[in-house]
Amino acid sequence: MLTMRPRGTNDIMPGEVETWQYLERQLRHICGEYGYAEIRTPIFEHTELFLRGVGDTTDIVEKEMYTFIDRGERSVTLRPEGTASAVRAYLEDKLYAGSQPVKLYYTGPMFRYDRPQAGRYRQFHQFGVEVFGSHDPAVDAEVIAMSMDFYGRIGLKNLALHVNSVGCPACRPHLRRQLQDFFRPRLASLCPNCRERYEKNPLRILDCKESRCSELGAEAPTTIDCLCDSCLTHFASVKKHLDLLHLPYIVDRRLVRGLDYYTHTAFEIMAPDIGAQSSIGGGGRYNGLVETCGGPPTPGIGYALGLERIILAMKNQGCAIPRSPGLDVFVVTAGKAAEHTAFHLLFKIRRAGISADKDYLNRSLKAQMKYAGKAGTRFAVIIGEEELKSDTAVVRDMDAQEQATVAMGEVIKYLQAKMRHAPRLP
RNA sequence: GUGGGUAUAGCUCAGAUGGAUAGAGCACCAGAUUGUGGCUCUGGGGGUCGUGGGUUCGAGUCCCAUUACCCACCCCA
C-alpha cells in the first residue's frame, strides 16, 4: 500500500505532463480570446452544496461522492464537478452585484467514487466554463462553439455534437405526465432501473442504454414534443446561431444528461474510439440553479470537458502533441580539477537565460557526453586540464558534430550567437 | 455496486501436462589501446515470480482469499 497510489488515481509523469501543460495553455489562451476569467475554488466544499446544487437523486450524490467528517465535525465533500462551486462563489462573493454577464472558467481535479475504466477515474480533471446573468440563446451557442473551437485547435476530428432542449419548469410537468402516460402500459418491460425512474424522473428513461428500454422509448414523447413556446423559441435561436457559425450538430431528442439542474439547452460532445466512455464534454443551461442555491433568480449556462478523455482521444487519433525541448547546454568536465570552474560557468550560463545542467555523479567524460546526447542537449561545453590552462572551453554542437575552442569570457556570447543564427529545430 | 480478463527484471514479454542456479529483447551501468555522445561489439548489476494462505517430497506453474490494473455494465468528464 505504501508504494501504491489510491485506486483510480494517476501520477502524471515527466513526458506526459507536457501534454497537460500544452492543453492548459491552449485552454487559457482560448478563454482569453472569448472573454472568460479564471476562478479558483476549493477542492472540497460543504457537502450540502452538492446535495443541493447537483441534485440529491443523481448518481453522483447517491453513490459517488467522497464525503468525510472533518475534525470540526463538519461534513465536507471532495468536489465531484465544478458548477456548484462556481455558483457558490458567484453568490458568496456577490458577483451578481457587478456587471453582467459574469463569464468564468476553471480547471482542476474532480473526484467521484466510481469503478475505474477506460477514460474514467476516481480523480479526474475537468476544464469548464460558466456564464451567469444572460438568457440570450446566443450565449448557449457561444459556449458550445467555444468547446468545439478548442477541440478543433488541438486537432480532434470526427466529433459528434449532440444538442437538445430539456424544457423549463413551465413545460417539465407536462412532459413528465406525458411520459408517465406513455410508459404506464409498458412498465413491466422496462429495466428495474427505469421502473424507478418512472416515479423519480421519467425523463431519464429516454437516456437509458438498455436496448429494451431504448426500443420502447423510441416512440415515446420526447422533450421537444412538449416544449412550451418560449422553450421552442429559445432552442430555435440556439440552433440558428450554431448555423451561423456553420457548426454541424445533431438534434438528439434523447439527450437528457444526468445532472438535475439543466433547463433548456443540453449538449454533449462524443469522440469515437476512446472506449465506452465516449463523452469528452457536455453542458447546458441551468436557469434555476442559482436560485436553488439561495441566490437571486439568475440564468446560467456552462459546460465541462474531461482532460483525461481528451488526451485519450488525441492519442488514438494521432494528434500532434508537442514535446518539451531538451536543454540548451550540458557542461562537461574532464577531470576533477575542472569541477569548480564548470560549476561556476554553469550558473553564469543559466543566469544568461540559457538552460543548462551538468553531471553530478562523477561520471567519465564519455559517460557525460552520452548522457547529454541522450537528453537531447544542443551544446556540450567541455572543460578539462587544457582548457583550464588556457582559460577556454570547447563548445560542441551536438547535432552538427562541430566544435570550437572559445575563450572562457566569450562562451555565453558565443552560445547566444549560435542560438540566434541557428535556432533549434523542433 | 455487478461481470469478465490479467498480475514473472525499470519496460514488453517467454517460461506445455508442477521437479534447473527463473530467461530474452529493450533500458541502465562499465569497457573496446587511457579528453568527446548517437552505430557496432563485449561484459555487468538488477526479480521475496502482486500479497497472504493452502495442496504436495517439491509451486512461477494447481486451489482459495486479497489487492491492483485492464475491459464492459451502470453512470458520466
Note the pLDDT tens digit of each residue in A182-241.
888 887 777 777 777 777 777 777 777 666 777 777 778 887 788 899 999 999 999 999
Whole-number distance in Å between A229 CA and B74 C1'? 35
Integer Cα distance of A10 and A13 in angstroms: 9
pLDDT band at A156; cut points 50, 70, 90: very high
pLDDT > 90? residue A33: yes
Note the pLDDT of residue A165: 92
- Residue in the structure block whose three cell numbers are 469503478: A115
Tens of pLDDT, residues A337-388 = 999 999 999 999 999 999 999 999 889 999 999 999 998 899 999 999 999 9
Compute the CA torsion angle A88, A94, A99, A104 (nearest 10 deg): -30
- Asked whether residue A71's C-beta has any atom of DNA/RNA strand B within 7 A, the reply is no
A341: CB partners within 8 A, 6+ apart: A383, A388, A408
pLDDT > 60? residue A64: yes
Question: Strand B: which nucleotides have any atom within 7 A of a protein Cβ?
Answer: 1-3, 28-31, 35-38, 67-77
Residue nearest to nucleotide B67 (CA to C1'): A1
Order of strands across the sheet that contains A263-270 = A37-38, A102-111, A123-132, A300-306, A279-285, A263-270, A160-165, A250-251
Whole-number distance in Å between A80 CA and B75 C1'? 13
Whole-number distance in Å between A92 CA and B49 C1'? 57
- Asked whether residue A309's C-beta has any atom of DNA/RNA strand B within 7 A, the reply is yes
Note the pLDDT of residue A296: 95
What chain A holds in terms of domains, given with CATH numbers, is 17-171+227-316 (3.30.930.10), 329-421 (3.40.50.800)
Return chain A residues 112..151 having CB < 7 Å to nucleic acid strand B: 112, 114-121, 124, 126
Note the pLDDT of residue A200: 74
Phi-psi region of A9 (alpha: psi -120 to 50; beta: other; left: phi over 0): beta
- Asked whether residue A60's C-beta has any atom of DNA/RNA strand B within 7 A, the reply is yes
Return chain A residues 144..203 having CB < 7 Å to nucleic acid strand B: 193
Whole-number distance in Å between A261 CA and B22 C1'? 59
ipTM score of complex: 0.88
Whole-number distance in Å between A270 CA and B14 C1'? 40
Whole-number distance in Å between A8 CA and B65 C1'? 23
Whole-number distance in Å between A304 CA and B44 C1'? 53
Task: Tell me the nt nearest to A119, Cα to C1'.
Answer: B77
